[in-house]
């Protein structure tokens, strides 16, 4: 499955057309629907959170809110959410999620169990732009901002991604993050990751 997805991305990236191969992610974070799209190079990621649309410039960390043909630049707030102090331990192979194999991990902070995570290691590098874009967006969109969870506190999305892409993460029988659909051959029009007025 891994080599097939990589081959499809490579092949489609070499074919000139009005649309290029991209990645499509659909799922839920903190109970809110989230959809992400990005292409080769992955400098920009388009995210839709609920009914709000954003374009995230990953290298610069700039976030643009897109609504009714208007663009508004948002500044991510540094809330100082800790990335340190968490340990993600792999226990065994996990079930398939959205059609992909996973490994079962337990996230700890000190002695507290903070989450169970089903992750795919091979997707980690490929989906790193999506992980970073979601992490940046958590700073500006309250619907997906990490919630405090007992002694673990608020857990930033990037923490779940330490052992690959987190296909699913949960805390005390509550789904925090769920991958519902993931495609590596998503047709992405050339202009899909541009701002209005850009060519």
Place of tokens 């194999």: 101
Sketch the domain layout of the chain as residue ranges: 2-75+84-191
Burial of 11 (C-beta count, 10 Å sphere; 0-12/13-18/19+): exposed
Domain 2-75+84-191 falls under CATH 1.10.1740: no
Q: For the segment 91-137, what is each residue's pLDDT rounded down to a tens digit?
A: 999 889 998 999 999 999 989 999 999 999 999 888 999 999 999 99
> How many CB atoms neighbour CB 181 within 10 A?
12
Q: Where are the beta strands (DSSP E) in 50-125?
A: 52-57, 62-67, 70-74, 86-97, 100-109, 112-120
Low-confidence ranges of the chain (pLDDT < 70): 1-19, 42, 76-83, 196-199
Q: In what order do the strands lie in the sheet with 52-57?
A: 70-74, 62-67, 52-57, 44-49, 32-39, 19-29, 174-189, 165-171, 112-120, 100-109, 86-97
* Residues facing 54 on adjacent strands: 47, 65
Quote the pLDDT of residue 52: 93
Quote the pLDDT of residue 196: 67
Which structure tokens are listed for 137?
């967006």
| Rg of the chain over all Cα atoms, to the nearest angstrom | 17
Q: Residue 156: name the closest of 136, 186, 130 by CA.
A: 136
Quote the pLDDT of residue 60: 87
């Amino acid at each position: 499955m891994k080599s097939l997805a990589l081959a499809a991305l490579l092949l489609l990236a070499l074919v000139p057309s009005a649309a290029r191969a991209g990645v499509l992610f659909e799922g839920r974070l903190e109970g809110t629907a989230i959809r992400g799209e990005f292409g080769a190079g992955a400098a920009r990621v388009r995210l839709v959170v609920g009914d709000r649309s954003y374009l995230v410039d990953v290298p610069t960390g700039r976030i643009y809110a897109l609504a009714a043909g208007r663009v508004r630049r948002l500044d991510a707030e540094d809330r100082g959410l800790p990335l340190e102090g968490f340990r993600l331990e792999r226990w065994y192979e996990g079930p398939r999620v959205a059609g992909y194999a996973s490994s079962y991990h337990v996230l700890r902070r000190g002695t507290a169990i903070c989450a169970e995570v089903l992750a795919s290691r091979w997707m980690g590098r490929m989906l790193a732009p999506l992980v970073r874009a979601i992490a940046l967006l958590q700073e500006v969109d309250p619907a997906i901002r990490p919630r405090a969870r007992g002694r673990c506190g608020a857990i930033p999305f990037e923490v779940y991604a330490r052992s690959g892409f987190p296909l699913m993460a949960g805390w005390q029988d509550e789904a925090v993050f769920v991958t519902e659909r993931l495609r590596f051959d998503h047709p992405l029009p050339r202009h899909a990751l541009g701002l209005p007025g850009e060519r």
